[in-house]
Amino acid sequence: MKRQTMMIDNTTVSFGEERNLLEVIRKAHIELPTFCYHSEMSIYGACRLCMVEVEGMGMVPACSTLPAEGMVVHTTSQQIRKLRKMVIELLLASHVGDCPSCSKGPSCQLQKLGQRLGVDKVRFPQTRTPVAIDMSSPSLLRDPNKCVLCGDCVRMCNEIQTVGAIDFAYRGSKSTVMPCFGKNLGEVECVNCGQCARVCPTGALVPRPNIDEVWKALHDSSRTVVAQVAPAVRVALGEAFGMDPGTITTGRIVAALRRMGFDRVYDTSFTADLTIVEEAEEFLERKKNGQNLPQFTSCCPAWVKFTEQYYPEYLGNLSTCSSPQQMMGALCKASLKKLQNIPAEKIVMVSIMPCTAKKYEARRPEHSRGAEPDVDLVLTTQELILMIKESGLVFDQLEQESFDMPFGFTTGGGVIFGNSGGVTEAVLRYAAEKITGRKDSNYVFKAARGQEGLREFTLTVEDTQLSVAVVSGLGNAREVLRRIQSGEKRYDLVEVMACPGGCMNGGGQPISSRADYKEKRTCGLYDNDKMLQLHKPQENPYIAEAYEKFLQKPGSHVAHDLLHTTYSPKRRTSGFAPEPEQEEGQLEISICFGTSCFLRGAQQLYSGINAFLAEQGAKARVSINATFCYERCDRGPVVKIGSEVLEHCTLDLARAAIRQHLAGRKAEVQV
């Protein structure tokens, strides 16, 4: 594309493919203030902080103005300065003033801009009526009192993740951002990915804290408190202490955790290696038998919940492997109980994760042994940063320490799990040698790497051809599922991570304003892989030892009991459309109108049953209603007639069941 030029603050700046004037100005190393602009999302133009003066055009918003040859732009003037300060004052006037105790702290964009623009007083009275803080979600805390209506969370949830759990409601001064039907976040279809919290410029959406519970466990001398640290944490935590994104801080993280009082510190990358052994064996078996393909990865709990809610027909395609977090919890508690006679109820497993959805995952009943969860508490990277600061530890001066053994030893295959494509690459490192039956010095599969949210490639290993898709961002996952459903594409293996770029960009990671932070974190994990002596999960000697002592062999009954799980359809909104009370003596018919059943013909079934009842003159004897949801989404449409639940219901099946029930009721009346 032909390069063009414009004048920005008396400096000539060339431009080409930039989307808007804002991007050209930033290219000139001028950081215009914004709330609502994110390059990955649509242009919204709500905050008006990026207003600039363009000669011949007057004041324009830089984010929504196209760059043009010969423009003369002024980013600072007396009028612009007054406008920006007034915007910040108005936002502060409608914002709860508990900044010193806000968990967003120094990463709050409102605080930063207020200080940067010299706002030392607010001339306007407080206008917001306080509302209750939403603590219903296990993963996120939502404080509407701190919302500045920038719309970032709404666009992230709708455009990138295609979930739509939150949106704008009401108009004018009553405008607010909230979940549907006025419900709490934990009651709607939120998948807990935390990407809304990542882009929220204030403390309106933050990871739900578990810091106090962790300190309580650490101060209880009767408990053995174990930490596990996810691979993506090591390339982001240092940013809070002045280090560049991608800096490996593993040794200092371990040292800090020991200083706080953790009894053992393990590396989740170890069970990432273990996950690959189990998942790759499962994949090769499916490939051999041609069953349940494509196999979808199951490490990301936000993706799993997304599938349970929207695509339950593909639950059988998910790998049955638990995530590395859950495998570590189960294996650690089993080993400490067997080898050191520590009761499971005395062990507190604390996960340090880049991900808010891991908080939800740890509370799932599928990941418990009776009353004891495999993972007790989950801290995000942000929370660990706060604990390190609270402890007074000078992080960048700590002497580096090593993980405890045996669950602290990892290969590079486990470490790269934190990147989009990392799980796929680790599976290929295992599967390629398993297919060929011989060792290979190569361990890099570049086709699995990249920044695009949807990548496809085909790989041939001897006579076996593998078709693979690597996906990050749930909107891209929805597109891949569309292609599969339409028959447009056929895959053998599909990796899905909910967060764009993978776990290194999780909702619990430090908030970064650098344009290159994702690339730097990604490179950091690949560099960490290079620095390790072993790169393939099957080369980890302690994985072999774990099978020998606890698990017998990959895919064994013991391994399945400890390391695998099950999935089931999930209702998207709790308490929605309750079944109405029926009159005494009426036959009750309820038809599920959840998304899956609706797409399978629930509406046509509803109309057909109503027409049938009218033909039979039975409408007075029957109460028919639409409801939601029987959580049998993969077997829809689902109809409940009396106490009988019909799956894959057709109009003929419904007619026959209604006749039978009405005949039975008539006989009862005659008796």
- Rounded Cα distance between 384 and 395, Å, is 12
pLDDT at 90 over 60: yes
The mean pLDDT of 481-505, rounded to a whole number, is 95
More confident residue, 280 or 619: 280
Helical axes 381-390 vs 211-218, angle rounded to 10°: 50
Please state the three-class secondary structure of 298-348 as a single string.
Answer: CCCHHHHHHHHHHCHHHHHHECCECCHHHHHHHHHHHHHHHHHCCCHHHEE
pLDDT at residue number 671:
36
Residue 666: pLDDT band by 50, 70, 90 thresholds?
low
CATH topology of domain 4-76: Ubiquitin-like (UB roll) (3.10.20)
Cα 28 from chain centroid (whole Å): 34
pLDDT at residue number 129:
80
Mind telling me the catalytic residues?
Answer: 279, 282, 299, 319, 358, 361, 366, 503
CATH topology of domain 86-208: Alpha-Beta Plaits (3.30.70)
pLDDT at residue number 70:
92
The DSSP bridge partners found for residue 420 are none
More confident residue, 410 or 621: 410
Written as one string, the DSSP assignment of 137-148 is: -SSEEE-GGG--
Cα 112 from chain centroid (whole Å): 27
pLDDT tens for residues 258-268? 999 999 999 99
Give domain limits for the chain: 4-76, 86-208, 212-393+407-448+472-510+522-563, 587-670
Tallying the residues shown for the chain, one arrives at: 671
pLDDT at residue number 342:
92
- Cβ-in-10-Å burial (0-12, 13-18, 19+) of 164 comes to middle
Q: Poorest-confidence range of 228-242, 574-588, 635-649?
A: 574-588
Q: Identical fold at 86-208 and 587-670?
A: no
pLDDT tens for residues 382-421? 999 999 999 999 999 999 999 999 999 999 999 999 999 9
pLDDT tens for residues 6-18? 999 999 999 988 8
Q: What's the count of helices (H) and strands (E) in the chain, helices before strands? A: 21, 23
The mean pLDDT of 648-658, rounded to a whole number, is 90
pLDDT tens for residues 428-483? 999 999 999 888 888 999 999 999 999 999 999 888 899 999 999 999 999 999 99
* Residue owning tokens 């404080």: 143
CATH 3.40.109.10 holds for 587-670? no
Q: What SS3 state is found at 179?
A: strand
Cβ neighbours for 472, distance < 8 A, ≥ 6 positions apart = 420, 453, 496, 497, 498, 499, 500, 501, 502
Q: Closest Cα partner for 160 from 498, 560, 524, 580?
A: 498
The DSSP bridge partners found for residue 315 are none
pLDDT at residue number 575:
58
Q: Closest Cα partner for 298 from 427, 435, 458?
A: 427
Residue 670: pLDDT band by 50, 70, 90 thresholds?
very low
What mean pLDDT is reported for the chain? 90
The mean pLDDT of 120-146, rounded to a whole number, is 88
- Rounded Cα distance between 302 and 356, Å, is 9
The mean pLDDT of 101-107, rounded to a whole number, is 79
Residue 349: pLDDT band by 50, 70, 90 thresholds?
very high
Q: What is this structure's pTM?
A: 0.85
The DSSP bridge partners found for residue 207 are 140
Radius of gyration over every alpha carbon of the chain, rounded to an integer in angstroms: 28
pLDDT at 668 over 60: no
Q: Poorest-confidence range of 179-188, 214-223, 576-585?
A: 576-585
Q: 8: which 2 tokens?
A: 């920005």
Written as one string, the DSSP assignment of 362-426 is: HT-GGGEETTEES--EEEEHHHHHHHHHHTT--GGGSPP-PPPSSTT---HHHHGGGSTTHHHHH
Residue pair 120/85 in contact (Cβ under 8 Å)? The answer is no
CATH tag for 212-393+407-448+472-510+522-563 (out of 3.40.640.10, 1.10.340.30, 3.40.50.1780, 3.40.50.800) = 3.40.50.1780
Please state the three-class secondary structure of 427-482 as a single string.
Answer: HHHHHHHHHHCCCCCCCCCHHHCCCCCEEEEEEEECCEEEEEEEEECHHHHHHHHH
